[in-house]
Amino acid sequence: MNSLITICTTLFAAAYLLSAEHKPFPAVMPSKKPDYPISAAMARLYDEWNPHEDRGNELYTNFKYSRLNGFAQEENISRRDPTKVIKVDGIYHVWYTSRRTAHSPVGLKNATDTIPATDWDLSDIWHASSTDGFNWVEDTEPAVTRPPKPEQGFRSICTPGILVWEGKYYLYFQAYSPMVGGQAYCPVRVAYTDSPNGPWTHHPDSVILPGPKGSWNNIKINDPCPLVFNDEILIYYKGAPIERGHEMVLRMQGVSKSNDPLGPFIPSSINPVINGGHETCMFPFNGGVAALVALDGPEKNTMQWSPDGENFTVASMIQIPPVAPGPYCPDAFARGKTDGRGITWSLCHINPDGGGSVSESILARFDCDLSLDVDRQVFKRNNLRFNAQTYFQKGIGLPKGWLSRILREQAYLDQETIIH
């Protein structure tokens, strides 16, 4: 009897599958979108992704992390937010925020003139060089030190971004005067030099200011990220408004443009151009601009691309993205006809205990394949797996204080399974 049912079932299913209305989707992906009915998800493979999915996507990659040599890891020496890496006369150069204080960060309330509030408080911009990108030699003094009081930035300068323009080097950075903290005013300043080895000269005024009252970036300009696109200087940044604690205030990213590294920089009329992300990471790519958007916002952990530097679309979904990436990108500042070849490695920072604001960060490197010039299939794989420590670490595991709340809530939430 059961066998008879099975035969009937099989015949029925076979007849159904062979009927004129239905064609089962093939094992080998059609290279063109099929002309028979397909689901919304399959239509997206053709309309938004591509039939090879991640493996056929030049803007998809895994990030493979390495520790760096040459940066002494000591208590209260922090290094974070590297610039893009540049290569001049065979030497790689990078700049980054570095805090060297006698005391650990204590938060905004308890900070003093010498005790930092956060990991990026009381910081200067440091420089290191390398011949291979893994082994680095750090200078013995900061490349750019805080300007004297009362100039904007006397409290801390941080999150630098490098620009090369007409043979000169420009470092853009956040400049804090009052105590660093959630509500501190923060414009962008710049310093310049003729050589990556310095010395650097402070431009006396801020070059990118927070927006007008009530606007999306009216208190802070974070993470300036310069590049050259269509012969113009574009500086991307994250904006923060003074309004806080309100559910509808978002952190987003915008861009300002100039033909002069000292400005004036004119904001895009359609800012913000990225609807989330925690740090900026943009580079010329394939005739447009690519952006790595990580950590925050509805489009967290995506690669995005824009033909005009202002209208970005999601190009891929990435995993375990780097924090504050500063890629090696030789054509980041190229003028004239350039297509943007992409990147194969970058520095970034890691906060070893998974915290972020009140303990030391380290610089690390990742390799990747976001380049039109290499084909590293191992970087195109997805299905990344994590060990147990990843799931149970602080911030991912259930916080201890939550267990009693969960048990209390499930006493009334967890109804019996509905059985008909």
Residue 113 Cβ vs a copy of itself, minimum distance, rounded to whole Å:
27
Let me know: does 294 contact 277? Beta carbons within 8 Å.
yes
296-323 CB burial, b ≥16 within 10 A, e <16: bbebbbbbbbbeebbebeebbebeebbb
Nearer to a copy of itself by Cβ, of 114 and 415: the residue is: 415
* Shortest separation between residue 36's beta carbon and a copy of itself, angstroms: 9
DSSP tag of 412: H
CB of 221 to a copy of itself, least distance (A): 12
- Residue 412 C-beta: closest distance to a copy of itself, Å: 9
Residue 51 or 115: the one with the smaller Cβ distance to a copy of itself is: 51
Residue 119 is classified by DSSP as T
CA–CA dist 173, 156 (Å, integer): 10
CB of 101 to a copy of itself, least distance (A): 21
Q: Give backbone dihedrals phi and psi of 42, rounded to 5 degrees, phi first.
A: -70, -35
Residue type, 341: R
Residue 112 or 354: the one with the smaller Cβ distance to a copy of itself is 354
Radius of gyration of the chain (CA): 25
Contacts of 306 (CB under 8 A, 6+ apart): 273, 288, 289, 291, 312, 313
Kindly tell me which of 23 and 103 has the beta carbon lying closer to a copy of itself: 23
Residue closer to a copy of itself, measured from CB, 26 or 148: 26
Residue 290 CB, nearest approach to a copy of itself (Å): 14
Structure tokens at 304: 């995005």
Q: Which is nearer to a copy of itself, 116 or 297 (CB)?
A: 297
Closest to a copy of itself by CB, 234 or 274: 274
Closest by Cα among 273, 280, 335, 266 to 307? 273
Residue 318: closest CA among 380, 386, 374, 364? 380
Give the rounded distance of the alpha carbon of 145 from its chain centre: 25
Burial 140-149 (b: 16+ CB within 10 A, else e): eebbbebbee
Provide the token pair at 360: 């030391």
**Exposed/middle/buried for residue 416 (C-beta within 10 Å: 0-12, 13-18, 19+):** exposed
CB of 150 to a copy of itself, least distance (A): 14
Residue number with CB closer to a copy of itself (67 or 103): 67
